[in-house]
Amino acid sequence: MIEQINEAAAYIKSKGIDEPEIGVVLGTGLGNLFVKQIHDTVVIDYHNIPHFPVSTVEFHKGRLVYGKIQGRNVLAMQGRFHYYEGYTMQQITFPVRVMKKLGVKHLLLSNAAGNMNLHWKKGELMLLDDHIHFQPDNPLRGINDETLGPRFPDMSQPYSPHLNALLISIAKQKDIKLNIGVYVSVMGPNLETRSEYRFLRRMGADAVGMSTVPEVIVANHMGLPCCAVSVLTDDCDPDNLKPVALADIIAIASQAEGKLTDLYVELIGRL
């Protein structure tokens, strides 16, 4: 893996991407407005980068976008990879390892998630305070390379208290409702049944999705501080559950994208 990380990083550097400070992972239905905030951009398609997977999901553009926001060097993934696409956990988290190799100091993640907290509403944002890893594999499974991180990384605070405190402060200043809760990551790609929503809620989760947690595990393994915000795209009340289509999820994510962009652009300026 070390050799593959080095090859991917060398290729990215050869395209003029040098010394990125902040990495961003943009989730389903997100990224268009955020990318427009990046100036002096360099864009690389994933399929051109050695050892990078290729995003197969609709609405995930599949490219790296590098440039400046608030005077800081930002490297954004416009589209991510998921376990349900058929990739291994190591493959879907590979870009996070490459970002760390390139020099990224903070990782900002986003996702679209189903809302299981009946006190909240779709279209709102949730700051991840903790998570439940409920996917069937782990990106750290296998022989550990101590140059990347420890065999048994601590996960008592998977999301940076410093970054989260800044986001809470920014949300208050901008009058953006920012719920704080627990995200559970499942394999997918199907959405959940009524009984599964009840089960996941009783586990202690407020929102459910199919991404983010593997990336956060790898970030913690490498000592890369991270934060994550979910856009709550559909209400998952098992007693009043209605069918939801991907187009509806994308529409809600797009409506909330401006709030998420405001939060992250301001956060970048404060780091």
Q: Where are the domains of the chain?
A: 2-270
How far from chain centre, in Å, is Cα 144? Answer: 24
Instruction: Specify whether the CB–CB gap between 188 and 64 falls below 8 A.
Output: no
* Length reported for the chain: 271
∠ Cα 271 216 152 (to 5°): 115
**Encoded tokens for 154:** 């601590």
- Model pLDDT, residue 58: 59
pLDDT per residue as tens, the chain (271 positions): 999 999 999 999 999 998 999 999 998 878 789 999 999 999 999 999 999 988 766 555 789 999 999 999 999 999 999 999 999 999 999 999 999 999 999 999 999 999 999 999 999 999 999 999 999 999 999 999 999 999 999 999 999 999 999 999 999 999 999 999 999 999 999 999 999 999 999 999 999 999 999 999 999 999 999 999 999 999 999 999 999 988 888 899 889 999 999 999 999 999 9
**Topology adopted by domain 2-270:** Rossmann fold (3.40.50)
Q: Which residues of 223-260 are buried (b: 16+ CB within 10 A; e: fewer)?
A: ebbbbbbbbbbbbbebeeeeebeeeebbebbbebbebb
